[in-house]
Chains A and B, each alone.
Chain A
Amino acid sequence: MRDMRTLQVVDENSGKSLGSIARGEDGVIHTDGIGQAIFEQVQGGLGWDEQESFDALVDGGWSNGYVSVRPAVPAAADD
């Protein structure tokens, strides 16, 4: 099952996770690893606020062709 509140930053070549971007229940964005830099890149490029940028990432993802952001697949379901 996919978790739409957590986005994973994935190396498309190795399949490894390089970080994450998540939105908490309170709407606060949390990032890990390279997630912060990519989130800033996306947000700065779009000129949108955090929530709009996160929504756009959830909806269509982001990629430079080598690293991508997409909804995470958690190991265990939480609902």
Chain B
Amino acid sequence: MKTLADLSYDELLARAAAVGDLPQLRVDVSPLTEGGKRWWTKGEGLKKWATKLHPWTALYHEILQWADMTPAYAARIASAWYHDVFGHWPGEHSHKGKPAHGHRSVGGDGVEFGMVAVTANVWLRERANLFLLDGLPDLPDGEPMGDLDDDTLALLAALAELDIELDHTRSFDPNEHKRYPKGHPLAGRFRPMVDLLKMAIVDFKDGKGKGKDKHPFEKFTRPQLMNAAKARGIKLERGEDRDSIANKLLLDLAPLSKKPDLKADLKDNPAKLDDRDLRDLAAEFGIDHHGKTRAQLLAAIRRKKKAEEAAKALPAKELPPIPAMAKLDRMPVAKLRKLARDHGIPEAGVDRWDLAIDIRKKARAHEAAVEAAAKKQQFANLDKMPIGDLFLLARRHGVDAAELNRRELIAALKVELAPRGPGDASKFHVTAKGLESLQNAVEHGTIVKESTFAHGAIGDTRKRKYADGTELVWKRTNKVGQQDAEQLASLTARALGLQAPRVYRNHPNEINMEFVHGEVAMDHRKMLAMGWNVEDIPEELVSTKQGRMMGLLDQLIVNSDRHNANWMISEGGNLHPIDHGYTFGNRPGHKLRDAGKAQYVRSGFAKHYVESAQFGYAVHGWANNDLTKADVAKIRERLVALKADFAKLGRNDWHEFMLERLEAIGQHATGRKSQLLPSLVE
């Protein structure tokens, strides 16, 4: 039977026309027919791929960049050109340098690129075994490489794309690669097969994500995997089983590496880091960026990075480390009991869950004891403390331990652990006016009661009561941006007349917030009457002046978390906004942009200001609101007055964003009756 490979170019075109692809092919193929293939296989283009570690993969990606090229076409063409150049097929390692014999090869010297493309296209269209690769030479294991079906081509495309991405230390990002690129005939459409495979491979290799426990090649047959392996030049043993081939395919990929991260840029290309990147890095390392120049901040970050690396390099402690609770949860009971015994925790008669919790308690108790010992007797104990505990303290308190000897480390810790004075607050507050009672309690008061509500990776939250009766919520997190947002959102809310708790700060990672005596909205009788709804709010609250200002606040600061556990109702029906760490675009993947554009904010109060769909997150634009033009002017005046407070924390961009947003909302102010509340900013 005459196969496609035996057909002349004209015959192939005729065949293509018969299956309906000719018009497109004539346009696509003709420019390349003249010299494209020659350039790639004999000319300058050869060095772009033939000298690479994975020539086929490199070529595949070069071809894929051309307009109208699909992964399947590209794979087919890459195989044919590879054969032309090396004289054997990609999977045929042991025949390297020897011409194949007794078998037909497609894409030989006389075949132009156009022909190959047409061949591939016809093949894909007919999906029959006519075939292009039906006569591949037998490989050493006696198992010839078979026909590459669509699934195998998709697998090859996924592996090839991962080769490139991993080489560039960039793992697959579904947001970037989910659709075909611009200029592609399928531009804009999802690429489910290749991308799902890539995600599955990355998840499995990385041991994270939904696909971490499922082998990505589970649904592939042995012949498919064998063909893919051979196409990638992987040597297989005679009769090698399916699982082994699958593993070889995975091992053939470069080790997974993280997305190009800021830390990498810090080392290799610091000029690439903009101010926001630097702030993010500083926050990640628990460094206060306030009042530092770019150069100072860069230097501080570098020092901190070294410190972390040094801390990691510490010799292992005698006792096995205590893992996080979630790991304990999954630990076999025998191992759990051994861990308990190692740490001197009674385990007899205790069930596994309570045992796990007791083990974690032990870990926390150790940390607390280290800290207590450090604070006792004017830090005299620091001098006797083991170096491991000193490093533990350094990490907990953000002390840069890099290049510090023991004596220097102790000195640095003494400075960090020393009681903070009112002078430290001046780094964060323009004025202490209005904060006197909080400042007095925090700086000079005695804590008589402390309840720890949370203490872990997400943050440390405690309720403190001082001897003078002051109650406050103390929060610590290593994300300075969250604390900036808490502080500035509070000021903004109070400028709008809302009774947001005041925030007093004397440390970049810690804030002290007035305690609100009231009920969490979710637990309020009016909310309970609505039945467990987490975001809906009774109209009688939304439509009050306070409700309108709550909505305005959430729009101005782009609040993504005003669910009903994040605002309070006090006696007299006053509304108190709380918890503003995730505002001003201050969360992973969010950035402040398009200040003038109406957008969804997660707040039942925000509906006063936007036209939105009845359900879902769609926002059609700004709605006319009940503020008067005079209200807007007054609010603007109050917000402008906060400029110095934002500047103090280096957040001028947040302030500008907020004013721009107010401007847009103000253009839709059509009210006739003032909705203003008196400002609470002292």
For residue A67, give the distance in angstroms from its CB to the closest CB of chain B: 4
Segment among B2-10, B19-27, B559-567 that sits at the interface with chain A: B559-567
Cβ-based interface call for A21 (8 A): no
> Is the beta-carbon distance between A1 and B351 smaller than 8 angstroms?
yes
Mask, B561-598, CB within 8 Å of A = 1, is 10111101000000000110110000111000000000
Segment among B288-296, B379-387, B449-457 that sits at the interface with chain A: B449-457
For residue B593, give the distance in angstroms from its CB to the closest CB of chain A: 17
Partner of A67, one of B360, B515, B522, B588: B522
> Is the beta-carbon distance between B326 and A18 smaller than 8 angstroms?
no
> Is the beta-carbon distance between A2 and B457 smaller than 8 angstroms?
no
For residue B324, give the distance in angstroms from its CB to the closest CB of chain A: 5
Among A13, A19, A36, A59, the most chain B Cβ lie within 10 Å of the Cβ of A59
> Is the beta-carbon distance between B522 and A11 smaller than 8 angstroms?
yes
The answer for the CA separation of A36 and B535 in the assembled complex, in Å, is 11
Mask, B436-456, CB within 8 Å of A = 1, is 000000000000000101111
> Is the beta-carbon distance between B353 and A2 smaller than 8 angstroms?
yes
Write out the residue numbers on chain A whose beta carbons fall within 8 Å of the beta carbon of B578.
64-66
For residue A35, give the distance in angstroms from its CB to the closest CB of chain B: 9
> Is the beta-carbon distance between B458 and A55 smaller than 8 angstroms?
no
> Is the beta-carbon distance between A36 and B534 smaller than 8 angstroms?
yes
Cβ-based interface call for B354 (8 A): yes
Which residue in chain A gives the minimum CB-CB distance to B459?
A62
For residue B478, give the distance in angstroms from its CB to the closest CB of chain A: 12
For residue A39, give the distance in angstroms from its CB to the closest CB of chain B: 11
> Is the beta-carbon distance between B453 and A63 smaller than 8 angstroms?
yes
Interface residues of B in 462-501 (CB under 8 A from A): 463, 473, 475, 482
> Is the beta-carbon distance between B209 and A4 smaller than 8 angstroms?
no
Number of interface residues of B (CB under 8 A): 51
Which residue in chain A gives the minimum CB-CB distance to B354?
A1
> Is the beta-carbon distance between A34 and B564 smaller than 8 angstroms?
yes
The answer for the CA separation of A26 and B353 in the assembled complex, in Å, is 19
Cβ-based interface call for B309 (8 A): no
> Is the beta-carbon distance between B351 and A79 smaller than 8 angstroms?
yes
> Is the beta-carbon distance between B568 and A66 smaller than 8 angstroms?
yes
> Is the beta-carbon distance between A34 and B565 smaller than 8 angstroms?
yes
> Is the beta-carbon distance between B453 and A3 smaller than 8 angstroms?
no
Among B356, B451, B520, the most chain A Cβ lie within 10 Å of the Cβ of B520
Cβ-based interface call for B236 (8 A): no
Given known A11-B522, A13-B519, A18-B520, contact A55–B560 (CB-CB < 8 A): no
Write out the residue numbers on chain A whose beta carbons fall within 8 Å of the beta carbon of B473.
64-66
> Is the beta-carbon distance between B457 and A41 smaller than 8 angstroms?
no
For residue B533, give the distance in angstroms from its CB to the closest CB of chain A: 9
Main DSSP-derived SS at the A contact region: mixed
Which residue in chain A gives the minimum CB-CB distance to B203?
A49
The answer for the CA separation of A66 and B581 in the assembled complex, in Å, is 15
For residue B263, give the distance in angstroms from its CB to the closest CB of chain A: 15
> Is the beta-carbon distance between A4 and B588 smaller than 8 angstroms?
no
Mask, B14-58, CB within 8 Å of A = 1, is 000000000000000000000000000000000000000000000
The answer for the CA separation of A59 and B457 in the assembled complex, in Å, is 8
Interface residues of A in 1-23 (CB under 8 A from B): 1-5, 9, 11-14, 16, 18-19
Partner of B457, one of A37, A56, A65: A56
Which residue in chain B gives the minimum CB-CB distance to A50?
B210
Mask, B310-331, CB within 8 Å of A = 1, is 0000000000000011110100
Which residue in chain B gives the minimum CB-CB distance to A11?
B523
Write out the residue numbers on chain A whose beta carbons fall within 8 Å of the beta carbon of B566.
64
Given known A44-B560, A65-B475, contact A37–B453 (CB-CB < 8 A): no
Which residue in chain B gives the minimum CB-CB distance to A68?
B453
Cβ-based interface call for B208 (8 A): yes
The answer for the CA separation of A20 and B568 in the assembled complex, in Å, is 20
> Is the beta-carbon distance between B458 and A57 smaller than 8 angstroms?
yes
Write out the residue numbers on chain B whose beta carbons fall within 8 Å of the beta carbon of A54.
326
> Is the beta-carbon distance between B522 and A45 smaller than 8 angstroms?
no
> Is the beta-carbon distance between B329 and A41 smaller than 8 angstroms?
no
Which residue in chain A gives the minimum CB-CB distance to B482?
A45
Cβ-based interface call for B513 (8 A): yes
Cβ-based interface call for B190 (8 A): no
The answer for the CA separation of A2 and B358 in the assembled complex, in Å, is 11
Which residue in chain B gives the minimum CB-CB distance to A63?
B453
Cβ-based interface call for B516 (8 A): yes
> Is the beta-carbon distance between A34 and B458 smaller than 8 angstroms?
no
Given known A5-B329, A11-B523, A34-B522, contact A44–B587 (CB-CB < 8 A): yes
> Is the beta-carbon distance between A41 and B353 smaller than 8 angstroms?
no
> Is the beta-carbon distance between A68 and B326 smaller than 8 angstroms?
no
For residue A31, give the distance in angstroms from its CB to the closest CB of chain B: 10
Partner of A4, one of B353, B581, B582: B353
> Is the beta-carbon distance between A41 and B561 smaller than 8 angstroms?
yes
Which residue in chain A gives the minimum CB-CB distance to B516?
A66
> Is the beta-carbon distance between B520 and A13 smaller than 8 angstroms?
yes
Partner of A66, one of B325, B353, B565: B565
The answer for the CA separation of A14 and B534 in the assembled complex, in Å, is 18
Write out the residue numbers on chain B whose beta carbons fall within 8 Å of the beta carbon of A41.
561, 563, 582
> Is the beta-carbon distance between A60 and B455 smaller than 8 angstroms?
yes
Partner of A45, one of B515, B564, B568, B588: B588
Cβ-based interface call for B461 (8 A): yes
The answer for the CA separation of A70 and B532 in the assembled complex, in Å, is 19
> Is the beta-carbon distance between A18 and B582 smaller than 8 angstroms?
no
For residue A77, give the distance in angstroms from its CB to the closest CB of chain B: 8
A/B interface sample: 20 pairs, CB < 8 A:
A4-B326, A11-B523, A12-B453, A14-B523, A33-B522, A33-B534, A34-B563, A37-B561, A41-B561, A44-B561, A46-B457, A49-B208, A56-B324, A58-B326, A61-B453, A64-B461, A65-B473, A65-B475, A66-B516, A68-B454
B interface, CB within 8 angstroms of A: 208-209, 324-327, 329, 351-354, 356-357, 360, 451, 453-459, 461, 463, 473, 475, 482, 513, 515-516, 519-520, 522-523, 532, 534-535, 560-561, 563-566, 568, 578-579, 581-582, 587-589
A4-B326, A63-B461, A66-B520 known; 17 new pairs, CB 8 Å cut-off, are A2-B353, A2-B354, A2-B357, A3-B353, A4-B357, A5-B329, A11-B522, A16-B523, A18-B523, A33-B532, A44-B561, A47-B589, A59-B324, A64-B566, A64-B579, A65-B461, A65-B513
